Amino acid sequence: MSRFFANGSDSESESSEEEVQAPNFNKASAFQFSDDEEEVKRVVRSTKEKRYENLTSIIKTIRNHKKIKDIPNTLSSFEDLTRAYTKALPVISKEENGITPRFYIRCLAELEDFINEIWEDREGRRNLSKNNTKSLGTLRQKVRKYIKDFEEDLSRFREAPDQESEAEDEEAHVSDAGDAADDSDVGFKKELSVTVPKLAKSAPAKVVPADDDDSDDSIDWDSDTESETESSEDENQYQNMRERFLKRSTEKGEEKIGDEEKRKDKRKEQKLKIRKRAEDDEDGEWETVVKGHVVEKPKMFEKDAEIDIPLVLAKLVEIMSARGKKRTDRRLQIDLLFELRDISDQHNLGVPVSVKIHFNIISAIFDYNQKISEPMKMEHWALLLEVMQSMMKLLLANPDISISESVAEEHEEYTAAPFYIRGCPLAAVERLDDEFTKLLKECDPHSNDYVSRLKDEMNVVKTIELVLQYFEQCGNPNERCRIYLRKIEHLYYKFDPEVLKKKRGEVPATTATSVDVMDKLCKFIYAKDDTDRIRTRAILAHIYHHAMHDNWFQARDLVLMSHLQDNIDAADPATRILYNRMMANLGLCAFRQENVKDAHHCLVDLMVTGKPKELLAQGLLPQRQHERSAEQEKIEKQRQMPFHMHINLELLECVYLVSAMLLEIPYIAAHEFDARRRMISKTFYQQLRSSERQSLVGPPESMREHVVAAAKAMRCGNWQACANFIVNKKMNTKVWDLFYESDRVREMLVKFIKEESLRTYLFTYSNVYTSISIPSLAQMYELPVPKVHSIISKMIINEELMASLDDPSETVVMHRSEPSRLQALAMQFVDKVTNLVDVNEKVFDMKQGNFFQRGNMGNRGDRGYNRNQNNQGGNWGGQRRDNRNQRNRNQRGHHKNQQQQQQQQVQTIDEE
């Protein structure tokens, strides 16, 4: 057979009939065929077709993701689209003269509309998952940044959007790409001399339009069948290989062109059908796809069944018996219970049966969430509230129905009054309250979701009120104490302005306030509770509520009478957290009521540890490695308080440091040269010392720096500078405005600063003055003269100031008994030297040994004999000790005589 073949194609028969000579191949390599090889028709595509097909396929993926609102995948597909468009830019600038394709602009416009629609739907946006919400923000930001380069194209597109469908537009692009492929195919075939045939059955390549959703398969099937029939006809028609590959006649080419036109018409008809089918689908409704194995809903009752109480109860037992099993569909179980309740109401089977079904629905909703640590879904939460309130209203409307855990299932009564049902609404409402706390902890406290969830507290409190009314009618004291405690825990941390108005007489005395409600509930628990935990928590909540409304004496007396501080370490962690919260609020109350010393005493245990955030369960501090395991961290996170119950930590620290300053600075001034001076507040003392060590101290910025600067000003007696540092605009906006009636707190602070600055001034400069005028002190510190007189009198009575008052002249006469600075330092030096000598002598005694003092002379003699021997043998250690003690006494007496002589000399000089 000849090795020269003519490559007969339709394009060549139309254009020219010249033959191309094939290059010489080796026979062994050119005509060795294998039966395992597949004959594949090679289709050469242009760069434009490849890039456009890539773009259209990604656009199709984006549209599919948008239909199901899969925002994370939409984000990733958009990033792929931008990268694909960057690759296609050279082709677009060459083929389209730099004009962005219409279908790409349409995709960007649709994506922008999709994002704006979801963003404006606030209710729908709240229900999105965390992943979807995060991806939505990222996608919105990237799209808005990306479409800035296409603003003109987008504006033109929105002014005159395409009226034709997407399929027609994308078909035009694909057909253009196909024409380019045909042209490139012709050129490619002109370059090649021959295509080596293969004996295996050919599998023609498929060029699939990228934007056709459902038409791809049908078009491919038609091309397969046509190509297979053509190949079989060709094999039967030609006798040898040479005739098969010879150029065909123009008639055959014309027939082929007619077939191509028919196929194109057929494709258009198919696309029209697909478009109509898609429009019909859009007009229809969406079907909800259930995750997991789809279980058909079982039939409730037979058609001819007589619906009565035993049949409904039997069906109820059958539904609830599947509770907790492995393959139980919990959603279907809840739906069946609701359907059973509706059937019971339709056939008027009675309120007891309805109550029983209600209680089982509540149990089924609680069982839906398998993980106890995670909160339930919002739709189940709303359903739970509704069912719980409905059940309690039925129980309150029918007092002859009794529901209790003590009722056995075989003793339940549904037909004759009184009705008895097994169940515990108290346990259900306690679990409901715990689920509400989990929901609040799950939300971001700084988002709108937290505010919307917090609104549900009204429904939760309303449900607790309904349960409380029911147990007040038919409950025992222990059950009433439990439900009272739940109401107390929703009430104790809330501020009621009516309480303060009632104190001032602005409202009638008969007005019921939250303090009166707390008194009633807590006193019942004090009298009837058998468990220590409920009583302890009630006392702590009662103290907290009194402290919040400035009932300082009532709160203080409750703390002292209950002796909670003695045994609080044995309580559970939740009760200890409540105790810490109570002490923090009690300290704030004492500060507002001008009891600075008590405020410092209440807050010192919290603040000295440096971990008030953890002690108040308001967050976890970062720990070093292996200090807290994952399980411990999970448990501690479950104990955290909801955000709306937090106490401001900056306010606590500021009140503590200011209280410590008002106590510590006068004490330091009074005991400046006392070596055994104690520290009132270790935290404040450390802040003061660290500031003194700094070589360069700038203006204060933080709250701690303001307090330290105020302390230094107070130490010099400068009350105005101290007040400016504490009560200034910056501190007001951060701290003092958090108090109720903050102006009164500021006035109280300024008054205390004046008084303590006066005391500090007298302690510091008393050795300078012989006498001081009381009116001048009152003018200097802007205090009334009687107040200054009272402060100085107290200092003299408490022996803090060695002076006397001269009432006719209104002066303070100093006795000048205080040693000078040099004398005080000399006395400190003498004390330290004496202590050092004592220590050295004790060390010498330990090294030298003292055998005769304890000596037991073998087995000879008794204790009297040994004592005589010790006395006779010379107790060198005892003699040395006696000598040392006598020497120390002589030294002290000498120093004392010197001090007396110095004092007498000073008095004589003053008299002269």
Q: What are the strands, taking DSSP E only, across 735-877?
A: 771-773, 803-806, 811-814
Question: What are 599-612's pLDDT values in tens digits?
Answer: 999 999 899 888 89
In tens, the pLDDT along 310-341 reads 899 999 999 988 887 877 888 888 999 999 99
Q: How confident is the model at residue 283 (pLDDT cuts 50, 70, 90)?
A: very low
Same domain, 309 and 259: no
Residue where one domain finishes, among candidates 725, 741, 765: 765
**Among 281, 308, 328, where does a domain finish?**
281
Asked if residue 838 is part of any domain, the answer here is yes
Secondary structure of 495-519 in HEC code, one letter for each residue: CCHHHHHHHHCCCCCCCCCHHHHHH
Q: What is the pLDDT of residues 672-682, one digit of tens each?
A: 776 567 778 88
pLDDT at 274: 60
In this structure, is residue 654 part of a structural domain?
Answer: yes
At residue 164, the pLDDT reads: 44
Verify that 78 and 98 share a domain, yes or no. Answer: yes
pLDDT beyond 50 at 598? yes
Does residue 119 sit in the same domain as residue 54?
A: yes
Task: List beta partners, residue 418.
Answer: none
DSSP code of 736?
Answer: G
Residue 670: the pLDDT is 85
Q: In this structure, is residue 396 part of a structural domain?
A: yes
Q: How far apart are CA 66 and CA 58, in angstroms?
A: 12
What six digits make up the tokens of 860?
């000879």
Per-residue CA distances from 8 to 184, 256, 623 (Å): 16, 13, 80
Q: How much of the chain exceeds pLDDT 70, in percent? A: 71
- Cα–Cα distance measured from residue 617 to residue 430, given in angstroms and rounded to the nearest whole number: 21
Q: Would you tell me how many other CB atoms lie within 10 Å of the CB of residue 656?
A: 27
pLDDT of 882 reads 57
The H or E element containing residue 224 is helix 215-237
Question: Tell me, what's the pLDDT at 272?
Answer: 66
Task: Choose one of 249, 281, 313: the last residue of a domain.
Answer: 281
In a domain, 881, yes or no: yes
Tokens, residue 833 = 């030297």
- Which of 10-24, 222-236, 358-372, 728-742 has the highest mean predicted lDDT (pLDDT)? 358-372
pLDDT higher than threshold 80 for residue 27: no
527 vs 278 pLDDT, higher one: 527
Q: Give me the pLDDT at residue 218, please.
A: 38
Confidence of residue 157 (pLDDT cuts 50, 70, 90): confident
Kindly tell me if the per-residue pLDDT of 201 is higher than 60.
Answer: no
Asked if 311 and 411 sit in the same domain, the reply is yes
Q: How far apart are CA 577 and CA 640, in angstroms?
A: 9
pLDDT at 166 over 60: no
Q: Sorting pLDDT into bands at 50, 70 and 90, what band is 12? A: very low
Cβ neighbours of residue 745 under 8 Å, at least 6 residues apart?
A: 591, 592, 736, 739
> Could you tell me the CA-to-CA distances from 346 to 297, 299, 349, 687, 777 in Å, in that order?
20, 17, 8, 75, 89
pLDDT band at 254 (very low <50, low <70, confident <90, very high): very low
Widest CA span in the chain: 154
Residue 707 has pLDDT above 50, yes or no: yes
Q: At 575, is the pLDDT very low, low, confident or very high (cuts 50, 70, 90)?
A: very high
Task: Name the nearest CA neighbour of 612 among 569, 655, 658.
Answer: 655
Which candidate, 73, 160, 69, 164, places its Cα nearest to that of 109?
Answer: 160
CB 566 within 8 A of CB 626: no
758 and 859 share a domain? Answer: no
pLDDT value of residue 287: 54
- The three-state DSSP-derived secondary structure of 6-30 is CCCCHHHHHHCCCCCCCCCCCHHHH
Give yes or no for a contact between 758 and 788, defined as CB atoms under 8 angstroms apart. Answer: yes
Judged by average pLDDT, the poorest of 75-84, 576-585, 624-633, 877-886 is 877-886
Instruction: Indicate the pairing of strand 39-40 with strand 202-203.
Output: parallel
**Residue 401 phi/psi, 5° resolution?**
-100, 125
CA 814/CA 765 separation, integer angstroms: 11
Q: Both 309 and 360 in a single domain?
A: yes
User: In this model, does residue 522 exceed pLDDT 90?
Assistant: yes
Question: For the chain, what's the residue count?
Answer: 912
For residue 58, what are the contacts with CB-CB under 8 A and spacing of at least 6?
77, 80, 81, 84
Instruction: Using alpha carbons, select from 750, 776, 772 the residue that is nearest to residue 763.
Output: 772
144: containing domain: 47-162
The secondary structure element, H or E, covering residue 675 is none
In this predicted structure, the answer to whether residue 179 has a pLDDT above a threshold of 50 is no
The torsion angle over the Cα atoms of residues 540, 545, 548 and 552, rounded to 10 degrees, is -70
Q: Is the peptide bond before 418 cis (omega within 30 degrees of 0)?
A: yes
3-state helix, strand, coil in the chain (%, to 5): 70, 5, 30
* Residue 241 banded pLDDT, cuts 50, 70, 90: low
Backbone angles phi, psi at 687, to 5 degrees: -60, -40
- The residue to which tokens 């802040």 are assigned: 687
Amino acid at 840: N
Cα 222 to its chain centre, rounded Å, is 59
Asked if the model's pLDDT at residue 11 lies above 90, the reply is no
Q: Compute how many other C-beta atoms are within 10 angstroms of the C-beta atom of residue 584.
A: 27
**Could you give the CA distance from residue 705 to residue 855 in angstroms, rounded to a whole number?**
63
How far CA 227 is from CA of 45, 222, 268, 529, in Å, comes to 20, 9, 20, 92
Same domain? 653 vs 759: yes
Residues 656 and 722 in one domain: yes
Domain co-membership, 203 together with 346: no
Question: Per-residue pLDDT for 140 more than 80?
Answer: yes
The torsion of the CA quartet 737, 739, 744, 745, rounded to 10 degrees, works out to -90
Rounded mean pLDDT of 279-305? Answer: 58
CA 164 to chain centre: 50
**Mean of the pLDDT values across residues 161-184?**
46
Q: Is residue 568 part of a domain?
A: no
Confidence (pLDDT) at 638: 86
Task: Name, in order, each residue with C-beta under 8 angstroms of 437's C-beta and a sequence gap of 6 or more.
Answer: 642
The long-range contacts involving 381-390, CB below 8 angstroms and separated by at least 24 positions, are 381/435, 381/439, 381/456, 384/432, 384/435, 385/432, 385/456, 385/459, 385/460, 385/463, 387/358, 387/361, 387/362, 388/362, 388/428, 388/429, 388/432, 388/463, 389/459, 389/462, 389/463, 389/466, 390/358
Give start and end residues of each alpha helix (H) in 411-456. Answer: 425-442, 448-454
**Is 791 within the bounds of a domain?**
no
Same domain, 741 and 884: no
Structure tokens that stand for 283 in this block: 């007009």
For 319-451, strand residue ranges (E) read 401-404, 419-422
Residues 754 and 662 occupy one common structural domain: yes
Q: What angle do CA 574, 577, 581 make, to 5 degrees?
A: 140
CA-to-CA dists, residue 138 to 74, 124, 615, 788, angstroms: 11, 18, 38, 66
Cβ atoms < 10 Å from Cβ of 91: 16
- Residue 113 CA, chain-centre distance (Å), reads 32
CA distance 109 to 152: 12
pLDDT tens for each residue of 362-381: 999 998 887 778 888 888 99
Q: What is the pLDDT of residue 134?
A: 87
Provide the total of helices (H) and of strands (E) in the chain, helices listed first: 41, 7
Condensed to tens digits (0 to 9), the pLDDT of residues 394-410 reads 999 999 999 988 888 88
In angstroms, the CA 178 to CA 209 distance is: 9
Could you tell me the pLDDT band of residue 885, with boundaries at 50, 70 and 90? Answer: low
Residue 474 has pLDDT above 80, yes or no: yes
Q: How confident is the model at residue 542 (pLDDT cuts 50, 70, 90)?
A: very high
Read off the DSSP letter of residue 373. Answer: T
C-alpha 166/C-alpha 102 separation (Å) is 11
Q: Which residue has the tokens 């026979």?
A: 27
Average confidence (pLDDT) over 1-19? 41
Do residues 407 and 609 make contact, with C-beta atoms less than 8 angstroms apart?
Answer: no
The Cα–Cα gap between 191 and 194 comes to 9
pTM of the full structure: 0.61
For residue 46, the model assigns a pLDDT of 81
Residue 117 belongs to a domain: yes
- Tell me, what's the pLDDT at 353? 92
Euclidean distance between CA atoms 366 and 360, whole angstroms: 10
pLDDT(209) > 70? no
Instruction: Please report which confidence band the pLDDT of residue 858 belongs to, taking 50, 70 and 90 as the band edges.
Output: very low
Average pLDDT over residues 491-504: 89
Band (pLDDT 50/70/90 cuts) for residue 262 is low
> Rg of the Cα trace of the chain?
47
End-to-end CA distance of the chain: 151
Instruction: Tell me which of 210-214, 355-359, 505-509, 694-698 is least confident.
Output: 210-214
Greater confidence (877 vs 886) lies with: 886
**Tell me: the pLDDT tens digits for 622-665?**
766 556 777 888 888 888 999 999 999 999 999 999 999 999 99
Q: Which residues pair with 404 in a beta bridge?
A: 422
Domain count, the chain: 5
234 within a domain of the structure (yes/no): yes
209 and 148 inside one domain: no
- What are the pLDDT digits (tens) for 766-824? 888 888 999 999 999 999 999 999 999 999 898 888 888 888 888 888 886 666 678 77
Q: List the structure tokens of 323.
A: 């509770």
**Model pLDDT, residue 631:** 80
